[in-house]
Amino acid sequence: MRQSKLFGRTLREAPAEAQTPGHRLVLRAAIAKPLAAGLYTWLPLGFRVAKKVERIIRQEQNRIGAQEMEMPVLTPAEPWKQTGRWDALEPITFRTKDHNGREFMVSYTHEEFVHLHAMQETQSYKQMPQIVYHFQSKGRDEARPRAGLLRLREFVMKDAYSFDVDQAGLEKSYAAEHEAYARTFERMGLDAISVESDTGAMGGDIAHEFQVLTEVGEDRIAICSNCDYRANLEKATRYIEGGSARADGVPARSAIATPGTESIEALEASLGQPGDAFLKTLLFRDQSRKVVAVVLPGDRDVNEAKLRKALATGEVKFASDADFVEAGAVPGYIGPIGLKTRVLVDHGVGARPYIAGANKKDVHFRDVVLGRDFEGERVDASDVREGDLCPKCKVGRLTIKRGVEVGNIFAYGTYYSDKMNATFVAEDGTRRPFFGGSYGIGLERAVQTIIETHHDDKGIVWPPQVAPYHAHVIALPMNDEDVRTKAEALVAKLETSGVEVLYDDRDESAGVKFADADLIGIPLRVTVSKRNLKENAVELKLRTAAESEMVPHGSAVDRIAEIVASWPR
């Protein structure tokens, strides 16, 4: 490919909108360009990368026996309504109608439709297990697209779906996908770790996310310093030391005057006690508008994802003033004693005396003890934080890092087949629901994450397996007849021997060409110049290397082909 004809120009300065290093490079190196918020066009260089990433994913899916197919982007409303997701997904999906008024959704995922197909194509237990997958555009009207290709409103997802006869079969398929994912990310140069994740509104038990740890990530991951425990903060728990504290012999609770102290911080200051000496009580409303109180240690924050799960609701909101009145609570002085609502008590609240609001203005109680002074359902509804004890090994400390979710796998079991009555004939002749799982990888996000984690201050440093080209041939200067002839002959020979070449045939200065080569980040730079040809040599330089290698002009093709062949594919 002649660079003078390349559709896509490099930029010396990045557009102001680009904030993360990777986003700036996507724009500067002509990988992709925005059309609107969260809607990007792949330029030719980026498209080649996308196709290579896609190829790796495809090979690893095929390796575990998954079969590629393709379902439409536009999907009819009925199956969505059947599973309840037509309404649930309303805020974040694109919809349209045809000329007869029939409703469609730009697909968010394809569980509903792959189940419809499975019912038709897979009628007997003899045909299972099955895994099918496709690469297809997904539409999500994200409130906040960000960081270039990291969070888009339209993107290509590889989504795979497994169908098994029972839970044991599902777990096998799940394990196969888990291994395929580990290989897939490793092959594309992503250092992804598998973490436990929340299963969200879809229920189900087993779910993992593949996270790449980087500062640009949107998720927060708790990681044990000692064992292999890793979990998304939405799901992470902690080990709580118990037993030592005793509530026996605690004097009866007594009121203390606390005028004007309406926050834990204010109480800490005026009473000289640490945050965990207090109980924090928060009022929420769930989706069905029921008010619920959550009692936490004063130094902990509520974790909304866990709270939603505990309440089995899709949404929680902070309660209104009217809710406070109804609950018999006073803002700023709320406590668990005497509340006229359902009360949840976080598992971090121990068997010891606390200071808590008295539900009376300017008054708190001291020596409030769970089980004696108030009761509540025990739940885990608080955030973990740095330094908490690992729930698995109980000795390691948790650290929290940011991560990008490049893929996830999810065993949802019969969630969809139950709602859709999707069944097969089992060995005993009865009809049984499919046990399913879904497995997704976001293509654009994977590319963006590769760039975020593979660059230096000069530009992208592509892992060879996904680089847009293998070699970047630079002719210098372009107006030298001998240089041009030899460079073009070299390019032609390389291409015949299967090396993918970007040929910088532009009449630009050496500085511009080298700077662009560093920016675009093709793994091997090949310089054919007047200076080198005087020595009858060609210069080879790996993007990752500081030093270059001079090879005789006559053996350049073989040497380059040898280097390229040594790279992982």
- Residues of this chain, 145-184, that bind RNA according to CB under 7 A: 145-147, 151, 157, 159
3-state secondary structure 95-146: EEECCCCCEEEECCCCHHHHHHHHHHHCCEHHHCCEEEEEEEEEECCCCCCE
CA distances from residue 114 to 72, 120, 128, 355, 436 in whole angstroms, order as listed: 11, 10, 15, 54, 10
For the CB of residue 28, give the shortest distance to RNA in the complex, in Å. 7
Does 62 participate in binding RNA (rule CB under 7 A)? no
The window from 11-19, 249-257, 353-361, 384-392 that contacts RNA (CB under 7 A) reads 11-19
Structure tokens at 471: 């070699």
Q: Binding of RNA at residue 37 (CB under 7 A)?
A: yes
* 2 in contact with RNA (CB under 7 A): no
x/- binding map, residues 215-244, to RNA, per CB under 7 A? ---xx-------------------------
| Binding-site member from 7, 91, 242, 289 for RNA (CB under 7 A) | 91
| Smallest distance from RNA to CB 27, Å | 8
Query: Can residue 505 be called a binding residue for RNA (CB under 7 A)?
Result: no
Q: Give residues 456-475 in contact with RNA (rule: CB under 7 A).
A: 458
Decide whether 42 or 424 has the Cβ nearer to RNA.
Answer: 42
Binding residue for RNA, selected from 182, 393, 477, 495, defined by CB under 7 A: 477
Q: Is 413 in the site for RNA (CB under 7 A)?
A: no
- CB–CB of 213/375 below 8 Å? no
Residues numbered 368 to 407 that lie near RNA (CB under 7 A) are 407
HEC assignment per residue over 171-217: HHHHHHHHHHHHHHHHHCCCCEEEEECCCHHHCCCEEEEEEEECCCC
CB of 84 to RNA, least distance (A): 12
Considering only the stretches 29-37, 172-180, 266-274, 331-339, report the one whose residues sit in contact with RNA under the rule CB under 7 A.
29-37
Which residues in 323-362 contact RNA (CB under 7 A)?
A: none
CB of 541 to RNA, least distance (A): 7
Q: Give the per-residue SS3 of 403-438.
A: EEEEEEEEEEECHHHHHHCCEEECCCCCEEECEEEE
C-beta of 35: minimal distance to RNA in Å?
Answer: 8
Stretch that binds RNA, among 161-169, 244-252, 515-523, 553-561 (CB under 7 A): 515-523
Give yes or no for a contact between 455 and 25, defined as CB atoms under 8 angstroms apart: yes
- Count of CB atoms within 10 A of residue 208's CB? 23
Number of residues located near RNA, criterion CB under 7 A? 75
- Kindly state the tokens that stand for 35: 């059309």
Packed helices 481-496 and 556-566: angle between N→C axes, nearest 10 degrees: 40
From the number of C-beta atoms within 10 Å of its C-beta (0-12, 13-18, 19+), residue 257 rates as exposed
Q: Is 518 in the site for RNA (CB under 7 A)?
A: yes
